[in-house]
A = this chain, B = another copy of it.
Amino acid sequence: MGTPRILTTPAEDAYAYPLLLRHLLANVARQTSAEIVSGQWRLTYDALLDRVTRLATLLSERGVRAGDTVAVMDWDSHRYLECYFAIPMMGAVLQTVNVRLSPAQIEYTLRESGAVFALHHADFAPLFDAIQPNLPAIRGAIPMEEDAKADSYEALIAATAPSFRFEDFDENAIATTFHTTGTTGNPKQVFFSHRQLVLHTLALAATLANQPSGQGLRRGDVYMPMTPMFHVHAWGLPFVATMLGLKQVYPGRYDPRRLLALKERERVSFSHCVPTILRMLLDARDDGESLGPWTVIIGGSALAPALAEEAARAGLSTLVGFGMSETGPVVALARAPGGDVADLCRAGFPIPLVHARVDAERGGELLLRAPWLTQGYGSQAASDALWEGGWLHTGDVAATDGDGAIRIVDRLKDVIKTGGEWVSSIAIEELLMELPGVAEAAIIGVPDGKWGERPVAFVVAAAAGSPPDTKLLREGLMRHVDAGRLSGYAIPERVFVLETLPRTSVGKVDKRALRARLATDAANAAMTI
């Protein structure tokens, strides 16, 4: 069939442009007067770039070389943003440490990352000191504090010259690594190259700016992350916001009142978070306080329409972005020109370059191809399982709507097979959350001799001390059965009312913990409907 032709007479000096994170900064500082706001700091983009160069100089002076891994343990800050650029731009690897893991897991991830150097916020100094003896690869560390305390990040940056010369290298060089936070086994390490992050940034920037009004991000917006920077590059938004020269606000450790105060003070117009944080923001606001205009992309877990509607009443424009640790993360984004809430709660439309396909032979699992998906985990066997057949296996069951949007039906492992029917735990949860008195809901499947599996429900009351009326819950779900929206098999016999739902370090409901609890003491608190 012939061979595609490659240019045979390139200029000897032609610049073979590698897709490196450095190049996202090509022209931004000259084009913007916006600031990076973080704690007591307000930095221009010129200052940001100067500090990125100083940080690279400092790390280089401390012996960090291209190919080395540098671990960062911090809350969201301008310092973290500087690490996002400086460390990969040196040719080193940025390991973003999930500081919400257990000490043992943090030690595990640091060890597996092979980090030789660490930058850690003062809050994590005791932890870091405790585990460092078990991390022989670590050759040095710099503490991070808000003030320019001696020998800490700010003082050292101020005292270091911006003399590092960034050079080009292979765009497939690893820029970042971090660990997934699955609920089974040890966290798994994922890897992203410069090329992948640059392409993710371009495709995401193009997607967000083409969203309907109030559902995207454009030049002129003010950005504040509410998904931590240790979690999948804060969904890649710091790279997008920096490339566009936007005003950025980094809120430190998340506290709902402080997030709301920063939003107000700095006129934040765009953020992203998991449903749990959205719930906390809604609970933390003053009665009747409007939070808008504020576009908030929701991911990590399903966005229940009831929650989205409550957010809308508070002035927030919420919509779903879909992705996972393995996918960079963004592969799809909801949109609805008319603002239809059900549409905005779908995983949405695959973004440019993303191929998505639903594999009927594997229970409807969503399979993906995109230029920014991790090419593997640390382990070859796990890598091969992830990419079996040349498609990334999401572990999510999905369906495609007539307009091309994807709906996530459930996690493959959470789907319940009962009475010969497949029932989506997410579908029951969303319907429960629409019922009066229910703030949150989780469904798990438990083995059953007669039906194969049966759904079991856990709910959190909307108001403390006012458990929902179980008769109304049953009636409410039955109405959906009568209307043909839900299978009769999906009505759980057992509903447990909990004070809170157990959650993973990134805010997802920990269904593994619920299963464990069910096997032990929780049955004592059972209310059967």
Contact = CB atoms under 8 A, between A and B. Distances in A.
Contacts of A387: 11-15
A108 interface: no
Contacts of A350: 26-27, 31
Contacts of A220: 212, 337
A4 B93 CA distance: 8
Interface-centre pick from A9, A173, A384, A404 (highest chain B CB count, 10 A): A9
A5 B93 contact: yes
Interface stretch (A373-381, A443-451, A476-484): A373-381
Contacts of A26: 350, 352-355
Contacts of A253: none
A429 interface: no
A4 B377 CA distance: 18
Given A206-B205, A209-B210, A219-B210, A65 B1 contact: yes
Given A219-B210, A384-B11, A5 B174 contact: yes
Interface in A386-424: 386-392, 400, 403-405
A126 interface: no
Contact of A4 (B13, B66, B212): B66
A193 B7 CA distance: 8
Contacts of A456: none
Contact of A391 (B15, B202, B211, B218): B15
Nearest to A88: B4
A2 interface: yes
Contacts of A373: 14-15, 17
A9 B191 CA distance: 10
A173 B384 CA distance: 29
B67 A14 contact: no
Given A13-B387, A17-B369, A27-B404, 15 more contacts: A1-B91, A3-B66, A3-B67, A3-B91, A4-B170, A5-B67, A6-B173, A6-B193, A7-B172, A14-B376, A198-B353, A202-B202, A210-B219, A211-B219, A212-B219
15 contacts: A2-B66, A2-B67, A4-B170, A5-B173, A9-B376, A11-B386, A13-B390, A14-B375, A17-B369, A24-B352, A27-B349, A31-B349, A202-B203, A206-B209, A210-B244
